[in-house]
Amino acid sequence: AAHKREVWSGRSVFIMAAIGSAVGLGNIWRFPYIAYENGGGAFLIPYLVALLTAGIPLLFVDYAMGHKFRGSPPLAFRRLSRGSEFIGWWQVLICFVIGVYYAVIIAWAACYTFFSVTEAWGDSPEEFFMGDFLHVDGESSFGMSFVPGVAWPLLLVWVATLVVLALGVQRGIGNANRIFVPLLVVLFGALVVQALLLDGASVGLDAFFTPNWEALTDTGVWIAAYAQIFFSLSVAFGIMITYSSYLKRKTNLTGSGLVVGFSNSSFEVLAGIGVFSALGFMAQAQGVAVDEVVAGGIGLAFIAFPTIVSQMPGGPIFGVLFFGSLVFAGFTSLISILQVTIAAFQDKTGLGKVPAVLTIGGASAIVSLLLFPTTTGLNTLDVVDRFANQFGIVGVAFVAIIVIAWILRRLPELRDHLNSVSSFKVGLGWQIFVGVITPVVLGYMLFSEIRDRIDEGYGGLPDDLVTVFGWGVQVAVIVLAVAMSFVPWRRGIEDEFELDE
């Protein structure tokens, strides 16, 4: 065919890229907190069950879709069945939305890597973050007051991202992951060692690992485990379909999935150890219980960690290791998100790589630069993130599984595809995990999230903000996804893939 699809040079570079995508901010700042809040050491049981009964099985679905149908999500779904193309676009548009704000957090972390050297936050990290750094305006919902100290670093993040993407799948994405993933492991490994040597580390680890067995009888804990696994593996919203579409025909898919799934979880547990050692130190230094200093997300990274850096011996080194890790972990995830949108656009239009990067990547950069480095950007980011993750990702995963497993009844076909190339064979168990357990859990998560957001709004933030950047964005994404599925493909591509080889 005229349009030759790019390929990875081998399986190991694909595995590296898939690990780079999966290991992200969620491993570092989300897992430790979620585990602590949901039973500590006992959480590892539901977590492992979720990994084995949903995370890895869904990863196999993504791999089978991308590898069998050799396309970005819309093309893969289109080739699966004409009517399911909109699911692919829904995934693509969610990736677009996530990409525009994910870059912002990387830009913050890059700034904090430098701030760590001089401990620029002085003795009040919180005031520094909200005031001197972000200039947060707590009064308005929308605003266009730019904060240059964030805008310039964000521009650099976008330039770096687009350069990697323009270099292509193997030369750009493959090589970036071959460098950054090992570098991340080294940096983060050094951080964990330094954290373990801190006074009070054992107090933190006790708090983290002490099992609360009663948690196992709580449905909420089980849901939290599945939610963490879905989020952390980035399954079922297009990334792994895209990456596996560049694999050579004969590739051991399930073997790769097992490596990726377990690597991601190992990194999470390692992060739990590093983060709680550091929190134990902070609690001890302040003479309070660990419970009082535990945080997750932005609060952990940009308020608690700077405090720790200021209080510990060798703080600047620790800060550089921590924020540097966030940058590398985030960057390899960001390129994977962006590649989904670019690949889809290329497949649909037949446009070359560089023009596609410039238009779609450029558009992402512009939206990102207009919305987030502003005095109202923090709240906007918070709302967009919440709805994209708890509504968008969960919703599209739920619909995709229902359509693949129940409406089209294509799991046997995907199973045969996996087994025809892979060492680790899947069978009825896999079909039950994917077809029954996963949709039940996703459906429950989706409907309870919708109910709670309708009843309570979100995080005490103004209703207009939640309406526009929460519901509004997610509804627009779905409408646009359906519309995109009516736009014609470049001639013949929907059907030409059989001829590829």
Binding of ligand PHE at residue 360 (CB under 6 A)? no
Closest distance to ligand PHE from the beta carbon of 86 (Å): 20
Residues sharing a CB contact under 8 Å with residue 428, sequence separation 6 or more, in sequence order: none
Which run of H or E residues covers position 477?
helix 473-484
Nearer to ligand PHE, 234 or 364 (CB): 234
Nearer to ligand PHE, 469 or 497 (CB): 469
Bridge partners, 3 (sequence order): none
Closest distance to Na ion from the beta carbon of 372 (Å): 22
Residue from 38, 116, 141, 232 in contact with ligand PHE (CB under 6 A):
232
Binding of ligand PHE at residue 24 (CB under 6 A)? yes
Bridge partners, 374 (sequence order): 146
Q: Which of residues 112-171 bind ligand PHE (CB under 6 A)?
A: none
Q: Which stretch binds ligand PHE (CB under 6 A): 19-27, 108-116, 240-248, 397-405?
A: 19-27
User: How far from 489 is each of 93, 157, 187, 351, 484, CA to CA, in Å?
Assistant: 17, 32, 44, 12, 10
Q: Which of residues 300-359 bind ligand PHE (CB under 6 A)?
A: 333, 336-337
Q: Which of residues 39-98 bind ligand PHE (CB under 6 A)?
A: 98
Nearer to ligand PHE, 201 or 233 (CB): 233
Contact 132, 368 (CB under 8 A): no
Binding of Na ion at residue 337 (CB under 5 A)? no
Quote the CA–CA distance of 307 and 127 in Å, as a whole number: 12
Binding of ligand PHE at residue 284 (CB under 6 A)? no
Tokens 């399911």 identify what position?
84
Q: Which of residues 10-29 bind Na ion (CB under 5 A)?
A: 22, 26-27
User: How far from 160 is each of 139, 156, 305, 335, 383, CA to CA, in Å?
Assistant: 34, 6, 26, 10, 26
Binding of ligand PHE at residue 368 (CB under 6 A)? no
Indicate the DSSP class of residue 501: -
Nearer to Na ion, 141 or 264 (CB): 264
Closest distance to Na ion from the beta carbon of 386 (Å): 18
Binding of ligand PHE at residue 257 (CB under 6 A)? no
Q: Which stretch binds Na ion (CB under 5 A): 65-73, 123-131, 264-272, 315-323?
A: 264-272
Q: Comparing C-alpha atoms, which of 278, 323, 263 is closest to residue 298?
A: 323
Tokens of 155: 């521009």
Quote the CA–CA distance of 390 and 367 in Å, as a whole number: 22
Tokens 């973050």 identify what position?
129
Scanning 119-216, the segments in alpha helix (DSSP H) are: 125-127, 148-167, 175-196, 201-209
Binding of Na ion at residue 232 (CB under 5 A)? yes
In the complex, the residues that contact ligand PHE under the rule CB under 6 A are: 21-22, 24-27, 98, 231-232, 234, 239, 333, 336-337
In the complex, the residues that contact Na ion under the rule CB under 5 A are: 22, 26-27, 232, 264
